[in-house]
Amino acid sequence: MRYLNQRQLEAAVMVRRMGTVTRAGDRMALTQPAISRLIAQLEEELGFSLFERQAGRLVASARGIRFLDRAERFLNDNKDLAAFGEDLKMGRGESISILAVPSLAQTLLPTAFQCLSQTHAMRATIITAQRREIPRLLRQHRFDIGLVSLPVDSENMRIERFASLGAVCILPDDHPLAALKAVPANELLSYPFIAPGASTLLVQRLQDALAREGRSINADVTIETTAVIHQFVANKLGISIGHAFARLDSPLGVTTRPIIPDLVLDYAFLFPDDRELKPGAIALARQVQAIAENFANAPIDALASR
């Protein structure tokens, strides 16, 4: 059985990440010839080329993409194993790796960790990514748990839905629509509108609802980040829409109302299919599930008052 050289793997992964041998060498504190030599040795061992040149940059070949995804995951696993050994030596608590879309990382995770802090000695690495980036990250890293909105492609991960909840309108607490228990979707067009990213599921759901009435979104501002949307709304620059859990981190002066008809999003956990679940990941999932059930079971009046 042959064993691949880790330094060669690191050089190849870094070249793909940086796009040129020179920049990869700068990151690894190696000369350009040294990087080229490491990659040539690896390609000779493998028997195929990892890269091809396009417009002055090195890009992974078809086989290179598959190999380097696996190589990056291996290198990350190696780091995780080293960190685990250090945890054992120092007597530290369990460490888990979490992948989450920003909207859930910003709202659910702080609340869940606050509840768990009393019962679990746990450390975590949290990586956030937009839904479209999830498949790439799953190919390159190993995670203990993911929190995503559906649908999503999830290689080597098991999907378990934990909630289906309607979107909310995000608006200043003294806005005319705040007097309503629920905001009709078409009323959103009567005021300056802040769209939460043109490609988000929320915008697609809203566009579908409006299209049935022959109308369409006309956004005054488009913002990718929920926290920035909240600040624009707090400064009374417009109203917006958000996922149900946006109520958890609405700033002072900002409130939320359900939207009718429901703009439903499905939320799910991603669990690894190829290994046993860590106790910390299980505990986190249970806590997130409890928070989601609280939202799902709360009456509209209670939700509108948050």
pTM of the predicted model over 0.85: no
CA distance 88 to 65: 35
CATH homologous superfamily, domain 165-265 = Periplasmic binding protein-like II (3.40.190.10)
By the 8 A CB rule, do 217 and 207 touch? yes
CATH class of segment(s) 6-73: mainly alpha
Whether the domain at 6-73 and the domain at 94-161+266-290 fall into the same CATH topology: no
CATH-assigned architecture of domain 94-161+266-290 = 3-Layer(aba) Sandwich (3.40)
**Contacts of residue 141, Cβ cutoff 8 Å, sequence gap at least 6:** 72, 73, 76, 97, 99, 127
The conformation of residue 245, written as its DSSP 8-state character, comes to G
Q: Domain-by-domain residue ranges, the chain?
A: 6-73, 94-161+266-290, 165-265
pLDDT in tens, 69-122: 889 888 877 877 777 677 667 666 678 899 999 889 988 999 999 988 877 777
pLDDT in tens, 153-165: 876 789 999 999 9
pLDDT in tens, 190-245: 999 999 876 578 888 888 888 888 888 888 899 988 889 999 999 999 999 998 88
**In sequence order, what are the beta bridge partners of 257?**
169
pLDDT number for residue 302? 43
Element (H, E) at 256: strand 254-260
